[in-house]
Amino acid sequence: MIPRYAPKDMAELFSDEQRFASMLEVELLAAEALAELDVLPREDVRVLRTRQPVIDAEFVAEVNERERITNHDTAAFVDVVQSRVGMPEGAWIHYGLTSSDVVDTALCHVLTRAMDVVLVEATALRDALTRRAVASIDLAITGRTHGMHAEPTTYGAKFSLFALQVDRDLERARRARASIAVGKLSGAVGTFSNIDPSVEAFVCERLGLVAVPATQVIARDRHAEVLYACAALGTSIEQFALEVRHLARSEVGEAEEPFTAGQKGSSAMPHKRNPVLSERLCGLSRVLRGYLQAGLEDVALWHERDISHSSVERIILPDALQLTVYMLRKATGLADGLVLHPDRALENLTVHSLGLVFSQSVLLALIETGLSRDDAYRIVQAASRRSVEERKNFREVIEADSEVTLSNEVLARAFDPQRLLAHRGRFLDALTWRT
């Protein structure tokens, strides 16, 4: 991931130093398990832990240099660890294991930790949206379907629905976290041919993982599930950001991104306050969905394994997790800082809409007088057209229509936005996590 979109804590989690550190811990725990079985000399294994190398930039460089010879990164890693520990004790590193035992278990350990960060940040986004929902539930705004004025809703209703969607994403992320929190140390084709099953149980327990049946590799549908959780969160963020972009348009003006001191919206036009963060989030969500596609294609491998997934995962898994956390943090800031313009929203609702958002209310009122639905519909439809063409308020047109016999009291009720929003509290009732 390029530094622009790589949070420091997540970049460190997916660094080569962390990858090798996790692999080394798997190796050492496996040796300790074998010592418990009296397969390896206990004193030699204690030396392995005592002499374990420091995993730093120098270690990484040495592994990379060794890989030029081995053309196998795990073999290069094992060679360097053994040389750093020294012989004869170093010979017990990687005893009875295959590369994927170490690499897959270490990768799942890192992905589990990464998903823990995702869960924290997704919760923060959900809670930010929830706070805005509570604060703005009474602020009326024009609802739009097909991009056209429909009926009144509220800012709070919008925020509530976004929060509910992120909460569903949280549940997906929890399931993905559980799915990836696994490990395997079962040998070349998963049959424990040269390793006792208790070693796998020992290592996984100490890493907080669950031992699972596998071939040479852990099944890749688990990794695809992680990528789906990331893509789902990205898509929910996109939906929120897209709404911000629409509401920020000059003709609408009902919300805008926070604009900090010294910020410039355009290099050429000083008046501009472009929704650049929302646009960025919409764009990055496309990248996350692309990673999911690649991850799904990694699921089907030849027989007990091939290596076609490996090169793909080295890119998409670190990038997807880093990008997801970046987007979550930015989206949370956007949710907290979004500037609402309720006066403009009310003006759009009551003035610029010409009152057409109340057409269904008038339709129902006419039906209640005994008209058929089709006759009432045609009266309201024709009045609506005249309102648009003549740029007259819809209520004035209705009142002047000889076919309409509604009393002032009935019309006042039909054109009352608060009546249409009487049940807005149900949106907040759905936010069950709200305290």
Which is the catalytic residue, given 72, 83, 193, 266? 266
Which 3-state string (H, E, C) describes the chain?
Answer: CCHHHCCHHHHHHCCHHHHHHHHHHHHHHHHHHHHHCCCCCHHHHHHHHHCCCCCCHHHHHHHHHHHHHHCCHHHHHHHHHHHHHCCCHHHHCCCCCCHHHHHHHHHHHHHHHHHHHHHHHHHHHHHHHHHHHHHHCCCEEEEEECCEEEEEEEHHHHHHHHHHHHHHHHHHHHHHHHHHCEECCCCCCCCCCCCCHHHHHHHHHHHCCEECCCCCCCCCHHHHHHHHHHHHHHHHHHHHHHHHHHHHCCCCCCEECCCCCCCCCCCCCCCCCCCHHHHHHHHHHHHHHHHHHHHHHCCCCCCCCCCHHHHHHHHHHHHHHHHHHHHHHHHHHHHHHCEECHHHHHHHHHHHCCCHHHHHHHHHHHHHCCCCHHHHHHHHHHHHHHHHHHCCCHHHHHHHCCCCCCCHHHHHHHCCHHHHCCCCHHHHHCCCCCC
149 has catalytic annotation? no
146 has catalytic annotation? yes
Residues with catalytic annotation? 146, 266
